[in-house]
Amino acid sequence: MRCDIGFDEALGLALENVFPMAFETIAVDRAVGRVAYGPVYARVDSPSVNASLKDGYAVVSADVETACPDSPVRLGLSGVMAAGDRPGYAVVPGKAMRILSGAAIPPGADAVVAEEFTDKGRPLVAVHAPAEPGRNILEKGTDVHCGECICHAGSLLTPQVIGLMVAAGIFEVPVCRRPEIGLLATGSEILLPGKPFEAGKLYASNVALQQAWLADGGFDVKMRVSGDSRRQMAEQILGLAEQTDVLVTSGGAWKGDRDLVVRVLEDLGCKMIFHRVRMGPGKAVGMGILGQKPVFCLPGGPASNETAFLFMVYPAVRKMAGLDFSPYLHLYGRLESTVRGQADWTQFVQCDISRNGAGIVLHPKKLKSRMAAMAKTPAVIVIAEGVEQIDQGSKLSFTCFDPSLFMHCPQTRLQPDKEPSDHV
């Protein structure tokens, strides 16, 4: 087991030791936000026929090549075609067929004159403009053609991709299965949400925050509480590990008399990969493998718990679902005041945000471990190990946890700066 390691090394080890889950096949109407397990190929052409882009008249282009307002070409009508109709009659020279948008182009026609360039007459229609071959015709397979790769393995299934899949005749898709997460709060003083309150007890706010983040990402969660005895912890750990794919414990991760989680895990045969990371807050975090399932041990302090979860556990869980990109909004802003780090430490600094013209100003906050302060923190900057100071006015990347600041009314929303060249 690696102990007292750097944050980058710990995150690398966490990601190296988790793997995408096996696939499951689900209906496309449930697949948005999921990750394609393999390439997906179109089963049909869309459109399935050459179709009209306009309401107008299907014609032989050579018939109307000289048409103009002063010298219209008059054509006899040979029927009407609407979307979904099967072609009945062919269009022959000297004739036109009334056609509606989306309808199949009848045999013999090679162009469509939009109705605004006609007099809509019956039984003869006057055409006032030419239409070259292919005019206003959407060719078969233009949107997607049979056998075309709609998306590749590892692609995120967005609403646009889902729409294209349905157009391509795909109604079920294999996706990476999302892991189910077991959240265990340790401590005899902890109550699960919904339980009757008792003086001296605390509700399990850490696991509630984790559950909220995981639910927002589409993950299913089981929550449990364990007392401080080895037997209780072992029972809850084994029970959750049997029912879930990942176990996350909160509390009891340090070196105190009642910090038993790592010792209990080792007694159960867990192979610990690392424990204690040079990061603040969050230094007591650890990770191991119990059976073949990852286990993350988080400290109980709210700020430490949240930081370790957001910057180490959640990225690893998302990788198991095939999501290998950050779930957070990363932007650039300028520091309102100098911040200090440590040569051998990665520091996570909470910040408020304000606007300065089109730019963002970051206001570092003094570290507070309480939930109320954290809930009102919209941004975090990371001071990398080895960086002892970042000066006031420096432009740097930050993680934004309140995207609503950038998504609402144009008069008040903040605008992210471009990537800086003066400091990262």
Kindly list the domain boundaries of the chain, sorted by start residue: 2-21+178-320, 34-46+144-176, 51-138, 329-406
What single-letter DSSP state applies at residue 235? H
Domain 2-21+178-320 CATH class label: alpha beta
Decide yes or no: CATH 3.30.450.30 for domain 51-138: no
Task: Please state the rounded mean pLDDT for residues 188-217.
Answer: 83
Decide yes or no: CATH 3.40.50.300 for domain 34-46+144-176: no
Distance CA 115, CA 54 (A): 8
The backbone torsions φ and ψ at residue 200, rounded to the nearest 5 degrees and listed phi first, read 90, -5
Nearest residue to 245 via CA among 219, 264, 216, 270: 219
Structure tokens at 422: 């003066």
Residue 359, pLDDT score: 85
Nearest residue to 322 via CA among 24, 21, 82, 4: 21
* pLDDT tens readout for residues 325-371: 788 888 899 999 999 988 899 999 999 888 877 788 999 987 655 55
Decide yes or no: CATH 2.40.340.10 for domain 329-406: yes
What pTM value is reported for the model?
A: 0.81
Distance CA 74, CA 125 (A): 5
Provide the residue type at 356 as one letter: N
What single-letter DSSP state applies at residue 197? P
* pLDDT tens readout for residues 369-392: 555 566 677 899 999 999 989 999
Task: Please state the rounded mean pLDDT for residues 272-279.
Answer: 95
Same fold, 2-21+178-320 and 329-406: no
Question: Quick one: pLDDT band at residue 410, thresholds 50, 70, 90?
Answer: very low
Determine whether 411 is exposed, middle or buried from the number of CB atoms within 10 Å of its CB (0-12, 13-18, 19+). exposed
